[in-house]
Amino acid sequence: MLLIPILFGVTVIVFGIMVLTPGDPAILMLGENAPQEDLAALRERLGLNEPVYVQYGIWLARIVQLDFGRSIRSGRPVTDEITARLPATVELALLATLLAIAVGVPLGVISATRPNSAVDHTATVVAFTGLAMPVFWQGLIMILLFALVLGWFPPSGRLGGWEYYVLPTITLGTSAIAAITRMTRATMLETLSQDYVRTARSKGVRERSITYRHALRNAMIPIVTVIGLQFGALLSGAVITETIFSWPGIGRLAIDAIRSKDFPVVQGVVMVFALMYAFVNLVTDVLYAYLDPRLKTRYS
Amino acid sequence: MRKVLLMLAAVAFAFGGAHAFTLTVSQGSDIVTLDPHRTNDQPSARVMRQVYDTLVIQTEELELLPGLAVSWTQLDEATWDFELRSGVTFHNGDPLTASDVAFSLNRLLDPATGAPGRFVVSRITSVEAVDDMTVRIITDGPFAPLLAHLSHNVASILSESVVTAAGEDYGTRVVVGTGPFEFVSWEVQSQLVLDRFEAYWGETALAERVVFRPITEGTVRAIELEAGAIDIAYDLEPRDALRMENRPDVVMAPVTLLSMQYVGFNAQKEPFDDVRVRQAINHAVDAETIVDVIYEGFGFPSAGPIGPNVFGYNDDLEPYAFDPERARQLLDEAGLGGGFSTVIWTNDNPLRIQIAEIMQAQLAEVGVSADIQVLEWSTYLDDTAAGLHDMFILGWGTVTADADYGLYALFHSSQFGSPGNRSFWGDDRVDELLDAGRRTIDPDERLAIYAEAQELIVEGAPWLFLNTSIANNATRDTISGFVPHPTGSHFLRGVSKN
């Protein structure tokens, strides 16, 4: 229920920022060669001559009827602009998150169960390298190595086949792997020193069972939080990966729209981002309840 | 008629030994729309070039040839009749008529359309269909470069019935032209597919299909070409072009562009109101260094305000020599022997910022201390149009390849500010010449007029004349027949693949 005021607030803020930052969409569209009368005509057509609050009001009145309007740049319906790109973004964010979980959680667990061992140090180095590596640089190196030198995968694009997904998924997932590994290691270390773990050990429960059934499950809540945050960030913040791999995602749409001051598209994209974040938060909350039955009993 | 053409095409195909192939082309951005009246951006224009025709075609050598118009006659100084080619059909099978032409140009001209490319035809006051195959165009006065303007992408001819029926969806969902390729599909930011139009009025295209892929990252575009995933890459970055030159399986196809980079002075503001100061700066900055350092040698210093590809270019112009001594002397004569402080404006284009930095260092050598100020694009355009600057770096593309377009808006004193003359410099004789260039039809007379105008402009130095750039296109060695067009909108009809 909080969602509607949140969405409203977000659109007001974004609209405010768009209005306060310099730049006239008409000049951006027509360029430096444009005569004044052409600029005036375009501003009229785009409704830019109306006062700011009227422009916002007109937009809001439409949104209430689920009409997102049309891009002022291309004339395409905003819903088309977004639905054309959303699947690419969601796919990539999901794959990258799955990869990050598949690599990050085991790596974190192994590090925590053998603290200060060679494995732990290696995992730490890998994690920090992943965090420190600029996405831009990593993407280009991966393309050079795996597409050009080895020829295993296509350099860029999303033109069908699974092979197009490999390099962007790894590139996008790397920093999430690092974050999840570090968080898993830290919480696991803490959990493994709890009394119930010592009790289990003294009862003679097998170490493997202790790690995965007792400790990991209890350590999962902060890890799930990090995964949720990472997933949200990957959904909305994959602009660089999308650019390098010519991936038709929504991050680039947002940047292009902001640059050309394509207000209806910016608002549409921001609402989608807000909805996605809200959805990810909801899923994370549901997972908490599943992981920690005490939460379920408290609220039911 | 269409059947016969199809049969002929089939026969030509069977005996010509041609094989079906797809041509994959990549450029830096996706299209915005394929409605020529909604946009005037290069990536869209490059696709529209394949889908639409214009009344007049401008070849790669910038020759003006009959396109959808087979001939034209000038009835008086401002009235032209264009005779349309017969047997031309749109991709949906409808025949081309004069009313489609009148509709297209009138839609472009209508201020309510808000077409970004309207300026190309703004001298036209009326377009009407005289009969089914004749179109009459009237300009607001004598306008010699009309034909070059009608060859511009935005003056493409659309189908009246299709555009009217499609409404807002025209250009993104519905696209119909008379060009050698027809629109098939567009996956945003991914790929745009065109198929050969078998009933094309001219020679049909060699490629059965053309796929345009937007690849934003220049280096990735180069790697795609190296990996053989694309056949032609447009606009490689200088660094990648240098690497590509050494590859045996890649062929470079550079082209000198119609655009020009310059530094404008504010000729109405001290100390730039003194011609000696403007000339001094021309002597103090070495454009050669700028080309070598920033463009990795892909380009050349300009001698004057328009490039060698533009009709009317004066190749006798002497460029300002890099001569700091002479610069100091001129400043001394202007009473600025002790130097002065100024500001160089640029927008956030990284190459322009680098140009400003090189200028800053070179100007310091002659005692001019310059600050660099980076402005957001539309503020930049607004404030330079208002004359708030000392010096600014900007480019100009002479999109029609005719001197009128490259000089009138930039140097005529009636064009101060946003129309183009951001250096606020004017000269009575230059005004006279530029007006005469518009009136005069005879090409030789026009050449003489523009030659004189360029000499006066170079002498008056409202600009620091920087450089003309070269666009680095490249193809796989399996591709032949790709001839880059100086406007950047390359024709792909004659491109073949082995």
Check CB contact of B38 with chain A, cutoff 8 Å.
yes
What pLDDT, on a 0 to 100 scale, did the predictor assign at position B16?
A: 46
pTM: 0.85
3-class SS of residue B324: helix
Mutate to test the interface with B, among A32, A72, A241, A260 (most CBs of B within 10 A): A32
Q: What is the pLDDT of residue A152?
A: 95
CA distance B468 to B480: 27
Of A32, A38, A154, the CB nearest to B381: A32
Restricting to A residues 53-72, those with a Cβ less than 8 Å away from any Cβ of B are: 70
Who among B38, B214, B378 is closest to A246 (CB)? B214
Instruction: Return the structure tokens found at B161.
Output: 């019935």
Q: Does A51 touch chain B (CB under 8 A)?
A: no
Distance from CA of B297 to the nearest CA of A (A): 25
Q: Which of B189, B220, B409 sits opposite A143 (nearest CB)?
A: B220
Which residue among B112, B215, B418 sits closest to A41, beta carbon to beta carbon?
B112
Cα dihedral angle (B2, B4, B6, B9), rounded to 10 degrees? -140
Q: φ, ψ for residue B251 (rounded to 5)?
A: -115, 125
More confident residue, B104 or A225: B104
The answer on pLDDT for B15 being more than 50 is: no
pLDDT greater at residue A56 or residue B163: B163
**B390 to chain A, closest Cα gap in Å:** 18
Interface contact B376-A22, CB threshold 8 A = yes
Sort B439 into a burial class: Cβ within 10 Å, 0-12 / 13-18 / 19+: middle
Instruction: Compute the average pLDDT of residues A151-167.
Output: 93
Residues in CB range of B3: below 8 A, 6 or more apart: none
Handedness of CA A46, A51, A52, A58 (dihedral sign): negative
Q: Do A27 and B378 touch (CB under 8 A)?
A: yes
Q: How many angstroms away from the CA of A244 is the closest CA of chain B? A: 6
Q: What would the mean pLDDT of B392-400 be, rounded to a whole number? A: 89
Q: Which of residues 158-197 of A touch B (CB under 8 A)?
A: 158-159
Across the interface, do A37 and B187 touch by the CB < 8 Å criterion? Answer: no
Please write the tens of the pLDDT for every residue from B306-330. Answer: 999 899 999 999 899 999 999 999 9
Give B201-236 pLDDT, tens digit per residue. 999 999 999 999 999 889 999 999 999 999 999 999
The pLDDT, as a whole number, for residue B22 is: 96
Q: Using DSSP, state whether B190 is helix, strand or coil.
A: coil
Please tell me what DSSP assigns to residue A147.
I
Residue of A nearest to B28 (CA): A246
Read off the pLDDT of each residue in B258-268 and give the average, rounded to a whole number. 93
Q: Does B373 touch chain A (CB under 8 A)?
A: no
List chain B residues with CB under 8 Å of A80: 172
CB pairs under 8 A between A and B: 136
* Residue B226 touches chain A, beta carbons under 8 Å: yes
Q: Yes or no: say if B307 and B256 are a contact pair by the CB < 8 Å rule.
A: yes
Q: What is the mean pLDDT of residues B73-100?
A: 95
- Please tell me the predicted confidence (pLDDT) of residue A91: 92
Query: Mind telling me how many Å the CA of B327 is from chain A's nearest CA?
Result: 31
The CA radius of gyration of chain A, in Å to the nearest whole number, is 24
Residue with the bigger pLDDT between A53 and B81: it is: B81
Q: Would you state the structure tokens that stand for residue B434, as one six-digit string?
A: 């530029």
**pLDDT reading at B27 higher than 80:** yes
Helix (H, G, I), strand (E, B) or coil at A146: helix
B472-484 pLDDT, tens digit per residue, is 999 999 999 999 9
* Chain A residues within an 8 Å CB radius of B220: 140, 143, 155-156, 244-246
Residues of A in contact with B240 (CB under 8 A): none
Tell me if B394 and A32 make a contact (CB, 8 A cut-off): yes
Interface predicted TM-score (ipTM): 0.83
pLDDT, greater one: A136 or A3:
A136
A85–B188: do the CB atoms touch at under 8 Å? Answer: yes
Q: Do B378 and A22 touch (CB under 8 A)?
A: yes
pLDDT digits (tens, 9 = 90+) for B324-351: 999 999 999 999 988 899 999 998 888 8
Interface check B187 vs A, CB under 8 A: yes
A213 touches B at CB < 8 Å:
no
pLDDT in tens, A26-80: 777 776 666 777 777 778 777 778 888 888 888 788 878 878 888 888 888 899 8
Task: Please indicate whether, in this complex, the C-beta atoms of B114 and A159 are within 8 angstroms of each other.
Answer: no
Q: Determine which of B220, B262, B374, B407 to mutate to test the interface with A (most A C-beta atoms within 10 Å).
A: B220
Top residue of B39, B152, B209, B217 to mutate, by most chain A CBs within 10 Å, is: B217
> Averaged over A136-144, what is the pLDDT?
93
Q: Read off the amino acid at residue B438.
A: R
Please report the pLDDT score of residue B135 as a whole number.
97
> What b/e sequence results for B47-58 when a residue is b if at least 16 CB atoms lie within 10 Å of its CB, and e otherwise?
bbbbbbbbbbbb
Q: Cβ B116–A74 below 8 Å, yes or no?
A: no
What's the whole-number average pLDDT of chain A?
A: 85
The encoded tokens of residue B203 equal 């020679």
A90 near B CB under 8 A? no
**pLDDT above 80 for B290:** yes
Sort strands B496-497 and B479-480 into parallel, antiparallel or unpaired: antiparallel
Determine whether the interchain pair A157/B189 forms a contact, defined as Cβ–Cβ distance below 8 Å. Answer: no
Instruction: Check if B215 contacts A (Cβ < 8 Å).
Output: yes
CB B238 within 8 A of CB B450: no
**B125 interfaces chain A, CB cutoff of 8 Å:** no
pLDDT at residue B18, as a whole number: 56
Q: What is the DSSP letter of A212?
A: I
Q: A76 and B172 in contact by Cβ < 8 A?
A: yes
Match 């209806």 to its residue by tokens: A264
Q: Do A81 and B33 touch (CB under 8 A)?
A: no
Residue B119 in contact with partner chain A when CB distance is under 8 A: yes
Asked if B372 and B365 touch (Cβ cutoff 8 Å), the reply is no
